[in-house]
Amino acid sequence: MAESGKIEYRPISVREALTEMKDVSEIMIDLAYSAALFNSHELAEEVLELEKRVDYLAYMIDMNTMLAARDAEDAEHLTAVITVAAATNKISDAAADIASIVLKEIGIHPIVRKAFEQVEERLARAIVKPNSILVKKKLGDLELAAEIGVDVIAIRRHLEWIIDPSEEERIVDGDVLIARGAPHGVDELKALAEGKIKELE
């Protein structure tokens, strides 16, 4: 997406776009509920960032289906694709609505907190600083799951998102890591990302 706000067309297959929309919307739901449960503004903000990505993908699907339709029969076959994309977009919009409750300080009803108080895993955002030991390291080499019980499920790098990053993905300064794990594990990841801890404990 262009920085000016104007949407930049990039060739992407409909299958790729739909798959990414599904993956992103799933993460958005988890992040939105975690933001509500822990009253986390930082997680709520990431939900809204992800919503922008889903909106972009939905736009790309609309454009690609229009370009692919050569006649009425093609258009009819592509209707199902557009319907699935629109439904997935609605899911992301709902997650963004939950995040907005947190950001607008509306408050979370005790019933919501009660429903999720048994959650053993947490989602968290960690911003990688220049002095972090994570910089230039591959996720696979860090073995975060084994060392601190945390999985990095997404990385935001400037305006780009890397969903379900591979073990070969190398962390760079400024990356925003979205991680899932036990409370002590995500706290340690944040400290590692911020350079407060110089080695995995």
* CB-side neighbour CA atoms (13 Å) of 76: 3
Mean per-residue pLDDT, 111-140? 84
pLDDT at 169: 97
pLDDT confidence band for 4 (50 / 70 / 90): very low
Report field, pTM of the whole predicted structure over 0.75: yes
> For residue range 155-170, what is the model confidence (pLDDT) as tens digits?
999 888 999 999 999 9
> For residue range 8-37, what is the model confidence (pLDDT) as tens digits?
666 678 889 999 999 999 999 999 988 988
**What domains, with CATH codes, occur in the chain?**
14-112 (1.20.58.220), 120-193 (3.30.70.1450)
Of 163, 153, 99, nearest in space to 125 by CA: 153
Q: What is the DSSP letter of 168?
A: T
Tokens representing 103 are 């950001």
pLDDT confidence band for 3 (50 / 70 / 90): very low
Average pLDDT over the chain reads: 87
CB atoms within 10 A of CB 199: 7
pLDDT above 80 (res 116): no
For 50, 151, 192, the CA distances from 133, given in Å and listed in that order, are: 27, 17, 7
In this structure, of 76-90, 125-139, 176-190, the range with the lowest mean pLDDT score is: 76-90
Q: What angle do CA 93, 11, 61 make, to 5 degrees?
A: 35
Separation between Cα atoms, residue 137 and residue 147, nearest integer Å:
15
